A = this chain, B = another copy of it.
Amino acid sequence: MSPRRVTLADVAKAAGVSRTTASLVLSGRGRELRISQDVEQRVLRAADELEYRPNIVSVGLRTGTSRTIGFVSDTVATSRLAGDMIKGALEAARDRGFMLFIGETEGDAELERLLLQTMHDRQVDGLILASMFTRAIKVPKAITAAPAVLLNALPKQPTPLPAVLPDEVEAGRRAARVLLEAGHRDGIHLIGAGPGLRDVPPESVAAVERLVGIREALGEAGVKVAGARTCPDWQPEYGFAATRDLLHTIRPRALICFNDRIAMGAYQALDDAGLKVPGDVSVVSFDDHPIASWIRPTLTTVALPHYELGRTAVDVLFAEIGREHADAERVGEVHRVPMPLRSRESIAPPPAD
């Protein structure tokens, strides 16, 4: 099909030197080994003219390295939000000349084992184990074969693996403060979780952490949550139902919704009840899902930094790869990535009574 690739041997021949010399020059170690200028130039020129490209597979076989990292997730590639995570990882990897293998497990442990196996067979230099939404995962044993980092996930059992996560607690504080700064002190209701730290959807790490932050910031200001509704799942319909129920008995001044989809449902319930955002009720939320800027009024929300999470995971992974010998002692530190506030139109001072 193609006219056979140019190999190192071709370059060496064209330059009239041995493969060794050519290899040395091309891997940039010509200088330190004091190879003559003349030879160096000849090799470089030959490589250039022949358009030589090293065969990475071959290098991989020889060096046991593949300049590739495996990105394994439950189903991250699919969610738009999380797609940015891949993008961040992709770019960070590319900056270092690495490629990414993507794999999805669909939450199936057996599939996960197979996938890790396969990646190992392909000699990946490291692994990123990602979860679509922040939660505690069972770290597969198979993973110990290569350096690895957890992305958007916490280990269920203690492991030496580092983890990269959004700073949800600070995000909770931030959401609460936005309301505080607008002058809200009363009638602040939570939609999605709370009021207690146990009133959260199953497995949701984000829920409890956001809740902690919210309560902390409110508490410091001496403000109490007026009420809270838990949603079994953070989907618009539950946000709608929870808000509608709330409105049957109470007229809130502000809503902290636990994510944008819930906020969307809340908007609908508020609208049905003839309440205006933000004139009657202020709304703040989390995630910065694309709809946050589509719904009207546009939604103020604390963004999940997907892109940064992806980049950070790769950075942490490279630090891990760089580490000579993994001290079994070391316990995986967790890296928190800040969640930035996106100020939009859904917040106003409380209506004067």
Stretch at the interface among A116-124, A152-160, A195-203, A220-228: A116-124
Q: In whole angstroms, what is the CA distance A122 to B268 when docked?
A: 51
Q: In whole angstroms, what is the CA distance A91 to B84 when docked?
A: 20
**A55 at the A/B interface (Cβ < 8 Å)?**
yes
Q: In whole angstroms, what is the CA distance A54 to B118 when docked?
A: 10
Given contacts A90-B103, A117-B53, whether A80 and B81 have CB atoms under 8 Å apart is: yes
Contact with A104, one of B87, B120, B121, B236 (Cβ below 8 angstroms): B87
Chain B residues with CB below 8 A from A75, complex form: 87
Q: In whole angstroms, what is the CA distance A231 to B291 when docked?
A: 19
Within 8 A of B (CB), among A132-177: 144-146
Given contacts A77-B86, A83-B83, whether A100 and B99 have CB atoms under 8 Å apart is: no
Task: Decide: B145 and A56 in contact? CB cutoff 8 A.
Answer: no
Task: Decide: A57 and B102 in contact? CB cutoff 8 A.
Answer: no
Q: Which residue of B lies closest to A82 (CB)?
A: B83
Task: Decide: A66 and B57 in contact? CB cutoff 8 A.
Answer: yes
Q: How far is the CB of A56 from chain B (nearest CB, A)?
A: 5
Q: In whole angstroms, what is the CA distance A2 to B268 when docked?
A: 56
Q: In whole angstroms, what is the CA distance A146 to B1 when docked?
A: 8
Task: Decide: A99 and B118 in contact? CB cutoff 8 A.
Answer: yes
| Centre residue among A53, A77, A117, A268 by max chain B CB count within 10 A | A77
Contact with A60, one of B57, B78, B268 (Cβ below 8 angstroms): B57
Q: In whole angstroms, what is the CA distance A122 to B294 when docked?
A: 42
**A261 at the A/B interface (Cβ < 8 Å)?**
yes
**A251 at the A/B interface (Cβ < 8 Å)?**
no
Question: Beta-carbon contacts of A307-321 to B below 8 Å, as 1s and 0s?
Answer: 000000000000000
Within 8 A of B (CB), among A79-122: 79-84, 86-87, 90-91, 94, 99-104, 117-122
Contact with A83, one of B80, B94, B100, B236 (Cβ below 8 angstroms): B80
Chain B residues with CB below 8 A from A31, complex form: none
| Centre residue among A54, A91, A104 by max chain B CB count within 10 A | A104
Within 8 A of B (CB), among A1-48: 1-2
Q: In whole angstroms, what is the CA distance A178 to B99 when docked?
A: 45
Task: Decide: A57 and B123 in contact? CB cutoff 8 A.
Answer: yes
Task: Decide: A122 and B56 in contact? CB cutoff 8 A.
Answer: yes
Task: Decide: B294 and A121 in contact? CB cutoff 8 A.
Answer: no
Q: Which residue of B lies closest to A91 (CB)?
A: B104
Within 8 A of B (CB), among A203-237: 236
Chain B residues with CB below 8 A from A87, complex form: 75, 77-78, 104
Given contacts A58-B61, A102-B102, whether A80 and B80 have CB atoms under 8 Å apart is: yes
Given contacts A78-B84, A78-B87, A79-B83, whether A294 and B53 have CB atoms under 8 Å apart is: no
Q: Could you list 14 examples of A-B contacts with CB < 8 Å? A: A2-B145, A53-B120, A55-B121, A57-B57, A57-B66, A68-B122, A78-B80, A80-B80, A80-B83, A80-B290, A82-B83, A90-B103, A102-B102, A268-B296
| Further contacts, 17 of them, CB under 8 A, given A79-B83, A90-B102 | A1-B146, A53-B120, A56-B121, A56-B123, A57-B61, A57-B123, A61-B61, A68-B122, A77-B77, A78-B83, A78-B86, A78-B87, A86-B102, A99-B101, A100-B102, A101-B101, A264-B294
